[in-house]
Amino acid sequence: MPEPEARMLGRPEDRQRLLLSVREAAVELGVSRAYMYQLLRPMGPVPWVKLGRLRKIRRVELEAYVATLPDCTGPGTASAHGS
């Protein structure tokens, strides 16, 4: 059995990329590209980095943003669905 480090370095298609394009980040979140750009505004909730002329989003920052989103399992949620 390969050591954990060897498994982590496996084939490129088996690893998650650390940096995502705006389009890829939008797909990961299930939102439009336009909405993703809104999230990337200055002082917006999702930080980004610049690589040359490209805007990239760190996967870890995207995951951190998702972790801050509120759950919709409060007492008012059931009545909104007619239950």
pTM score above 0.85: no
* CA Rg value for the chain: 17
Can you say whether residue 78 is alpha, beta or left, with left for phi > 0 and alpha for psi between -120 and 50 degrees?
alpha
What is the pLDDT, as a whole number, of residue 16? 84
- Each domain of the chain, given as residue ranges in start order, spans 19-67
pLDDT at 72: 85
pLDDT at 3 over 80: no
The mean per-residue pLDDT over the stretch 13-33 comes to: 90
DSSP-assigned states of every residue in 63-79: HHHHHHSPPS-SHHHHH
pLDDT tens-digit map of 29-79: 999 999 999 999 999 999 999 999 999 999 999 999 999 999 888 666 554
Which residue is associated with the tokens 């336009």?
34
Q: What is the pLDDT of residue 80?
A: 47
What is the rounded distance in angstroms from the CA atom of residue 81 to the CA atom of residue 66?
Answer: 23
